[in-house]
Amino acid sequence: MRWPQNRVTKQAAANEQASSPVAVEYGNGLHVPIGPESVVPILQPVRALTKPANEGIFRVDWAGIRTRIAMLPWAPQDLAGTTTDRLPVPTDGYRSEAEEYVGLVISLHNERDSYRVVEVGAGWAPWVVMGVALAQRNGKKAVGIAVEADEMRAGWAMQHCQDNGIEVRRVTGTSAQIREQLQENTGHVTVVEAACWYEETVLKFPKLTDDDMGGAVSTDENAHMDYRGAFFEHVEVPTVTLETLLAGDEPTDLLHIDLQGRELDVILPNLELIAQKVRFLAVGTHNRYVEGMLQEHLLTREWALLMESPCTAVFDGVKPTLTGFTTQDGNQLYANSRFRDADPIVIRQR
């Protein structure tokens, strides 16, 4: 059983087979994988020398980012009102694992006086907020876009920006209205209340409880069951495309994608666009088929897989999709060989 391919995914695979040369090479020979011994040296330079007050409600981390713990029901609530210097190795216990932090930190290194980060499936926008905050701390002009389909979580993203002193605006409306508003770059962060998709349309999204971060879009106009086999009321949401999110003359330093199993629907139709515009690509993976397909399509386009943590699945019954069996999400971090201004730690020394 495989994740059902839509027509765009099928066409992308067909085009790939038709255009592939006889001899296929994987990887790029430029970047080197990031091993466990490099994690601390990568993260250490962005440790905050001074930290903001935790005010009794925030968790202030090693990089000086404040997180409102009460906003995250799954987080240990005793973290509220605490400050830590500990690096998130192997994990921070409430936000993510070290791999995602590494992807964010290495994306900050560029030869420009600006920084750009896009996060789709953003939740409360932890990577946009951290990326913009750290880039600004280094004197760069920083721009972030956080895309979240759920109204409540889009509100969390707004709050997280404000809690960290970041100028933020919220964009809503139809796909066309969102595209027009994104052409007006008026703030450091824009929270887009929409779903990221390969075309401008309207999809269905489940109405989730505040402790459920597993929402995914559905193309079923009469959707009532999600990819896990759980039943939810669904509401209509507009979509925004990567073409819109990556528009502009500047590259995107980090594109972070976490779509609960729908990653291929967004990435495969946009492989050339991503290759032209994105320096580092971080993907939250939710089934092994997605992981293998990303390796196949990206490595043959001279991307390098710097780090990965495969997802974990328990095939314990009947589910409507492969993603439904997943018990622990995975991560993949890719570097684009078209951009050579990376931290020397990830460049092969010749």
Instruction: Note the pLDDT of residue 185.
Output: 74
Tokens of 180: 């027009």
Read off φ and ψ for residue 183, nearest 5 degrees: -70, -15
Quote the pTM value. Answer: 0.90
How far apart CA 348 and CA 338 sit, in angstroms, is 15
How far apart CA 327 and CA 317 sit, in angstroms, is 13
Any alpha helices (H) in 213-323, and if so which ranges? 242-245, 263-267, 271-277, 288-299
DSSP secondary structure letters along 191-234? EEESEE-SSS-EEEEE---TT------B--TT--B-TTS-B--E
Rounded to a whole number of angstroms, the CA Rg of the chain reads 19
Residue partners of 249: CB distance under 8 A and separation at least 6: none
Read off φ and ψ for residue 318, nearest 5 degrees: -120, 125
Whether residue 133 is predicted with pLDDT greater than 90 in this model: the reply is yes
The predicted model gives 56-66 an average pLDDT of 97
Tokens of 70: 């009460």
Residue partners of 130: CB distance under 8 A and separation at least 6: 63, 65, 104
pLDDT tens column, 246-268? 999 999 999 999 998 899 999 99
Count other Cβ atoms within 10 Å, centred on residue 333. Answer: 26
The residue to which tokens 């919220």 are assigned: 170
Nearest to 338 by CA among 295, 293, 277: 277
DSSP secondary structure letters along 291-316? HHHHHHHHHTTTEEEEEEE--EE---
pLDDT tens column, 207-259? 776 665 666 767 667 767 677 766 667 789 999 999 999 999 999 999 999 99
Whether residue 14 is predicted with pLDDT greater than 60 in this model: the reply is no
Amino acid at 253: D
CA end-to-end span of the chain? 44
Instruction: Note the pLDDT of residue 2.
Output: 33
pLDDT confidence of 3, banded at 50, 70, 90? very low
How far apart CA 49 and CA 271 sit, in angstroms, is 39
Count other Cβ atoms within 10 Å, centred on residue 54. Answer: 18
Q: How far is CA 252 from the centre of its chain?
A: 12
Spell out the domains of the chain, with CATH numbers in brackets.
Answer: 7-30+97-346 (3.40.50.150)
How far apart CA 99 and CA 122 sit, in angstroms, is 17
The residue to which tokens 């993603």 are assigned: 323
Q: What is the DSSP letter of 246?
A: T
How far apart CA 100 and CA 94 sit, in angstroms, is 13
Supply the mean pLDDT for the chain.
Answer: 89
Nearest to 230 by CA among 242, 211, 244, 214: 214
Instruction: Note the pLDDT of residue 4.
Output: 45
Three-class SS state of 149: coil
Q: How far is CA 305 from the centre of its chain?
A: 16
CA–CA distances in Å: residue 74 to residues 78, 94, 179:
12, 8, 33
Nearest to 116 by CA among 305, 258, 239, 246: 246
Lowest-confidence segment of 21-35, 47-61, 172-186, 247-261 by average pLDDT: 21-35
How far apart CA 270 and CA 230 sit, in angstroms, is 30
